Amino acid sequence: MTKPFDMALFLSGVLTGSNVTQQRHLRQARAIQTAIQQRWQRDNPWTWKLKHVRWFLFRFLRKHTEATRYYYKLTAQLIWKRIRTSPLCV
């Protein structure tokens, strides 16, 4: 049995701001992770493609308010920033 992916550890290098903001980003990142895992069985941001995140932002959140979509977009940008700053992504 494998351990679940630790989103807090994954985002620890790029999280900034107050503790409340960091907790919001973690909560939203876990929600993104859960939705993508249920739809495509990809529980790990390293395996996500742009289409997965676009689906979440534009289809999964389509009935949410504009403000909610904005905050999830900020979280998605943090995830992308973390992936792009990895030494493996050169």
**Hey, where are the domains in the chain?**
28-84
> Residue 51: which H helix or E strand, with range?
helix 50-55
Confidence of residue 9 (pLDDT cuts 50, 70, 90): very high
Question: Which pLDDT value is given to residue 4?
Answer: 83
Question: Which pLDDT value is given to residue 90?
Answer: 45
pTM: predicted TM-score of the whole model, two decimal places:
0.90
CB under 8 Å to 13, separation ≥6 — which residues?
82, 85
Confidence of residue 88 (pLDDT cuts 50, 70, 90): low
pLDDT digits (tens, 9 = 90+) for 47-59: 999 999 999 999 9
